[in-house]
Structure 1
């Protein structure tokens, strides 16, 4: 980019402002008092939060949206009907209150800075209008990279665990009184969303490698959790992924990495290392590890000296590894271990990361973002802890409901997906969520189900979400854990399936009362 992102008052316009990465940046900018607008197609909890901070949102992607900040006055935002999506009506401050200063300054009479993500198609009419009218156009990663330069930044990268690790670090700094600015790829209850604006110099951000933009990030502290090929739509092979991470590592002043990942250990050689193997020689290690149905405990070592005991609510050894990365960051910032341990012990996790959505008819419903074979294996192993840790005498089942994500990923990792469900008792597979990819015609959800069935005794394929929902009303039984897996829209089914079993539960309870 010849031009740099301007944070001095020039307006920002986000095409697709409701996306998880776009909205986090828009929120921080709006909280900083900068004029922000954006377009999206659907009202959501995320867009509602942006409206409440004064961002002006258009509900179609139209070239005329770019004219908003050029008008001599800006009308208050029109109310949006929201009952249909279960959201309360938004009471929004007048845009005049948040943009009047910008409208009278020289920077504001220019066209807005237009922010896009990789998801925006080059033929998008709003994007084309921005290009043709001469708007400065930036990728969302340019905005994040620009923000990193204004803070003492901590950037969390890696194929798996970025959201959980960055959220945990942000929460730790918040609990320690360091008041960080946080930009992550998931919603966290502790700050009621995917971003917060702090008043300290600290910024914690999730740095994404999916589209190659990781090379733009230069952080004071970089963390790499692991490296695998996960986005074959962008990368031809693992070597290309490794090169991206090498560039990121060189641009960070201090690199913290998990040497349990061979690639991180051999290719990046982190400044500060961590490992779950106490004999690995890492700077931060653990022993006396106990994995339970309610979390994990371990004894933490720092360069051969015992720091103390760590309790992690999040299930699975992969989350213990994420917590160890947070310990390394906390100690680098000179926090006492007791402060670090107290924060990690109370961290609840991010939404869609083994998120418990409810329990009805004695069935636990869990939503998880896992979509790569390694993530599926780790998440199912954690869920198995719930099964094995139960005190009930009746047999419980782990029912894995999986929506494959992207044709390219599904085809590339088909053999790995086939062997990823050994910890599940029952597997339900839906058709593939395209994520905007064109169907190549050589991969389908049925093929995924057939491949898994070669290694698993109970696999059920359903061609549509409606069919999945119907099947679950027949399949799920009291005592089950229903684990919804995938990065697409499968989790939209959870409320209706829960409602069905809530009705059964209420009916059973009423029948018992009548008999009594």
Structure 2
């Protein structure tokens, strides 16, 4: 299956090209001067970036899109760039694409169609591709084929994949190793979710949500942790462990966090890291100091002190992610002084404790947290920031605005969600973002609020985003840290709420009433 992905100039067509994972792959192929098209249902800054790279995008997912490939002019590749990718050329037949971009006139050149798990099998564009006989690949097939062209560094785990893969990509990029990077978030250092490098390494975020992780074979595999997060695909934690174990067996070297008991007992990594010196991990951080802007810690390698790191990211979870990056950096031959200097300037990925604005003394934070463990980690980081800035904002509150994601996850982990908000002063819960699921679980945002309220004295339910917006406009005070916790569309309300507080004075925290 993997060997049949054709990098010699045959077109690629992405159904749902604007998705965060799909768009990264499409960008890399376009930068390699391969012909790329795609379909999506809305314009975004991500699709605009693809268009700037010569990707033709259809704005409906319909079968007629594929008739585009029945005409000879459709299959010409983008104009050649001096920066096209030598790594693909040396390991595959991509060089042929620079010489012959089309089949003889009058013949069809059906594209390789790329889909994600999100594409329904009844999608008319997908069905048309089958009927035409197009080669059809899952997104993971293409990623696996790309990784095979490089010394792949694949970052897997239930939580922390995006930040850890971004840290590793940033480290290698600033160390002049110029990796190719494919991540599930946007990073300012490479202005998006992908970067085509000229070096030997490819750093990729490896997704376990649909089981496709088993397709990936990497030079270095990283496993940050293992939990049950996708009950729509897995029934038990043991099934999840099996997927990670298969991935680990396919990697030459496995780097793993043994603070996670499941990783420690079930995977047995070749290289280990931990925030607990008692574990005896290969890489350990101690003498940890948190401050409002990040974390300072001492790093040890196999019992030898390497030195101090200053990480401009909040929370112990991000320090753990940085240890993974340090371990990988050492495996590829970087000295610790270089690693520490580079990581000290990393500013994070979008939607990972992303500070969207500071207005009228209120800090607005957008975070992708949608699992109980992620929520606890994000709120712990916010609590650190609130505590460190008490002199400026006495009694500073942490306000959690939560949009549950998927009925299956919400129902399965309801008890864990109920206890995940202990470090928030206030919790606002809105309706569940379905992500295309049917509500076969008879679960609602109101039920989530009731469950949280059994453990929290200040939890309220606001069904719609409009109601959430109104509650926030009425209830925030100077000094509040407001966290929008969602993998859905809750963050769409942030600009409106920030605009309101840019224009309206608010009550100082010391005089504030509780949220209604």
| Partner of residue 80, structure 2 | none
C-alpha spacing 1:252/1:208, structure 2 compared with 1 (3 Å) = same
Q: Is contact 2:2-2:144 (8 Å) kept? A: no
Q: Is contact 1:35-1:99 (8 Å) kept? A: no
Post-superposition offset of 1:69: 3.3
The runs of 4+ residues in structure 1 deviating greater than 4 Å are 74-77, 98-101, 104-108
Post-superposition offset of 1:67: 2.5
| Worse-superposed segment, 364-373 or 274-283 | 274-283
| Partner of residue 478, structure 2 | 478
The reply to whether residue 341 of structure 1 matches residue 340 of structure 2 is yes
| Worse-superposed segment, 289-298 or 347-356 | 289-298
C-alpha spacing 1:278/1:500, structure 2 compared with 1 (3 Å) = same
Post-superposition offset of 1:279: 2.1
| Partner of residue 232, structure 2 | 233
Q: Is contact 2:165-2:183 (8 Å) kept? A: yes
| Partner of residue 300, structure 1 | 299
| Partner of residue 62, structure 1 | 62
Gaps of 5+ in 1: 78-97, 509-516
- Tell me, in whole angstroms, the C-alpha distance in 2 between the residues paired with 1:183 and 1:174: 13
The reply to whether residue 277 of structure 1 matches residue 276 of structure 2 is yes
The reply to whether residue 414 of structure 1 matches residue 414 of structure 2 is yes
- Tell me, in whole angstroms, the C-alpha distance in 1 between the residues paired with 2:11 and 2:299: 47
3-state SS in 2 of match to 1:150: coil
Post-superposition offset of 1:8: 1.1
Gaps of 5+ in 2: 78-96, 509-516
- Tell me, in whole angstroms, the C-alpha distance in 1 between the residues paired with 2:106 and 2:149: 20
Post-superposition offset of 1:441: 5.3
Q: Is contact 1:9-1:108 (8 Å) kept? A: no
| Partner of residue 200, structure 1 | 199
Measured against aligned partners, the alpha-carbon deviations of 1:404-423 in whole angstroms (never above 9, x if no partner) come to: 00000000010110110010
| Partner of residue 241, structure 2 | 242
Give the 5 Å matches for 1:37-186. Answer: 37-74=37-74, 101-104=100-103, 109-186=108-185
3-state SS in 1 of match to 2:344: helix
Measured against aligned partners, the alpha-carbon deviations of 1:316-349 in whole angstroms (never above 9, x if no partner) come to: 0000000000000000011010111111110000
3-state SS in 1 of match to 2:310: strand
- Report how many aligned residue pairs link the two structures: 487
Post-superposition offset of 1:72: 2.5
- Tell me, in whole angstroms, the C-alpha distance in 2 between the residues paired with 1:330 and 1:234: 33
Post-superposition offset of 1:471: 1.0
Q: Is contact 1:360-1:505 (8 Å) kept? A: no
- Structure-2-length-normalised TM-score: 0.92
3-state SS in 1 of match to 2:23: helix
| Partner of residue 504, structure 1 | 504
Give the 5 Å matches for 1:13-28. Answer: 13-28=13-28
- Tell me, in whole angstroms, the C-alpha distance in 2 between the residues paired with 1:505 and 1:32: 52
C-alpha spacing 1:107/1:367, structure 2 compared with 1 (3 Å) = farther
3-state SS in 2 of match to 1:102: coil
| Partner of residue 493, structure 1 | 493
Q: Is contact 2:411-2:441 (8 Å) kept? A: no
| Partner of residue 404, structure 1 | 404
| Partner of residue 444, structure 2 | 444
C-alpha spacing 1:100/1:427, structure 2 compared with 1 (3 Å) = farther
| Partner of residue 90, structure 2 | none
Post-superposition offset of 1:434: 0.2
Q: Is contact 1:103-1:109 (8 Å) kept? A: no
- Tell me, in whole angstroms, the C-alpha distance in 1 between the residues paired with 2:191 and 2:110: 32
3-state SS in 2 of match to 1:73: helix
3-state SS in 2 of match to 1:395: coil
- Tell me, in whole angstroms, the C-alpha distance in 2 between the residues paired with 1:350 and 1:253: 28
Q: Is contact 2:297-2:310 (8 Å) kept? A: yes
Post-superposition offset of 1:66: 1.4
C-alpha spacing 1:502/1:105, structure 2 compared with 1 (3 Å) = farther
- Tell me, in whole angstroms, the C-alpha distance in 2 between the residues paired with 1:101 and 1:364: 54
